Amino acid sequence: MSEYYKPRKTRGLYTPGSKEPFRISRSKIDLFVDCPLCFYLDQRLGVARPPSFPLTLNVAVDELLKKEFDIHRADQTRHPFMEKYKIDALPFKHEKMDEWRDSLRRGVEYVHKPTNLSVRGGVDDVWVNRKGELIIVDYKATSKREEISLEGRLGEQYKRQMEVYQWLFRQNGFDVSETGYFVYVNGNKDAEAFDKKLEFDVVLLPCKGDTSWIEPKLNEIKAALESDTLPLPNESCDFCLYRKAARDVQIEANNAKNRKLNI
């Protein structure tokens, strides 16, 4: 069996009518937005999309950035990025910082009472400004020559990610700034040689969040989970299009085989 993909799962699935809060991660909310059918197959029926391979270089950059900001968190000093972009804030010092970052075990979590969904997500960083507002921060790493921006489908996904984190912290009683930031690290491909090092350019991208869509979406998710009817797929979902094409060609192949046997 594949090291990365288990075709069926039996744990962590939603049971209609259950009184226990059902844990749903930020990424699963985004999965529902991307394709309700893929979400239902995953969270009700136990068949998840095949995962992408681990982006180990991105993980390494994330870890190094966290260590770097944690030095300034301990000393309560401004990071040079904050100086450069004139952000009047400090890394937020809080006893739950490590817990909030740990998306696999807990992250920042809140039970949405109308749906009994326990929403959680692991944040990369949190800053605090002079007004006492928390600033949600996420690290991104890439390597491309075009200008870094939050435009397009991927940018929309990143924005939703930021908004869910902002919503979670507000539900936990914190005053949260509407504007969060992406620390975007871009590997430089124009160096003359590799020379056992990779140089990066770093940009800070502001993101003004709007969390008004989250609670209506949680209501939609709850209704889908409670239903025994499969939701319609997103017409542009690559995974659904692949499944349909594979199913159709198998049916055609079986029909052709049966026709030969009946001759």
Q: Note the pLDDT tens digit of each residue in 175-185.
A: 999 999 999 88
Higher pLDDT, 250 or 106: 250
Q: Are residues 198 and 70 in the same domain?
A: yes
Report whether pLDDT(252) > 90.
no
Could you list the residue range(s) of the whole structural domain that residue 256 is in? Answer: 234-263
Q: Residue 78's pLDDT band (boundaries 50, 70, 90)?
A: very high
The predicted model gives 55-72 an average pLDDT of 86
Which amino acid, one-letter code, is at 230? L
Q: Are residues 151 and 39 in the same domain?
A: yes
pLDDT tens, position by position, 204-233? 899 999 999 999 999 999 999 999 999 999
Q: Are residues 143 and 249 in the same domain?
A: no
The residue with tokens 């740990």 is: 102
Residues near 134 by beta carbon (within 8 Å), at least 6 away in sequence: 92, 126, 127, 128, 169, 174, 175, 176, 177
C-alpha 225/C-alpha 228 separation (Å) is 8
Q: Are residues 262 and 144 in the same domain?
A: no
Classify residue 235 as exposed, middle or buried by CB count within 10 Å of its CB (0-12, 13-18, 19+): exposed
Q: Which two tokens stand for residue 189?
A: 């491909």
Q: Is residue 150 in some structural domain?
A: yes
Q: Are residues 109 and 178 in the same domain?
A: yes
Q: Which two tokens stand for residue 40?
A: 């239902």
The pLDDT score that the predictor gives to residue 164 is 97
The predicted model gives 17-25 an average pLDDT of 94
Q: Are residues 215 and 139 in the same domain?
A: yes
Report whether pLDDT(236) > 80.
yes
Share of the chain above pLDDT 70, in %: 91
The pLDDT score that the predictor gives to residue 116 is 97
pLDDT tens, position by position, 139-157? 987 766 666 667 778 789 9
The pLDDT score that the predictor gives to residue 145 is 63
Report whether pLDDT(73) > 70.
yes
Q: Is residue 153 in some structural domain?
A: yes
The pLDDT score that the predictor gives to residue 29 is 97
Which amino acid, one-letter code, is at 15? T
Q: How many other CB atoms sit within 10 Å of the CB of residue 200?
A: 13
Q: Residue 97's pLDDT band (boundaries 50, 70, 90)?
A: very high
DSSP string, the chain: --SS--S---SS---TT--SPEEEEHHHHHHHHH-HHHHHHHHTT--PPPPPPP-HHHHHHHHHHHHHHHHHHHHT---HHHHHTT--EEE---TTHHHHH-TTTT-EEEEETTTTEEEEE--SEEEEETTS-EEEEEEEEE--SSPP-S-HHHHHHHHHHHHHHHHHHHHTT--B-SEEEEEEEEE---SS--TT---EEEEEEEEE---TTHHHHHHHHHHHHH-SSPPPPPTT-HHHHHHHHHHHHHHHHHHHHHHHHH-
Q: Are residues 80 and 203 in the same domain?
A: yes
C-alpha 112/C-alpha 121 separation (Å) is 14
The predicted model gives 24-51 an average pLDDT of 95
Q: Is residue 57 in some structural domain?
A: yes
Report whether pLDDT(263) > 70.
no
Q: Is residue 114 in some structural domain?
A: yes
> Domain total for the chain?
2
Q: Are residues 41 and 135 in the same domain?
A: yes
Q: Are residues 85 and 167 in the same domain?
A: yes
Name the pTM for this structure: 0.90
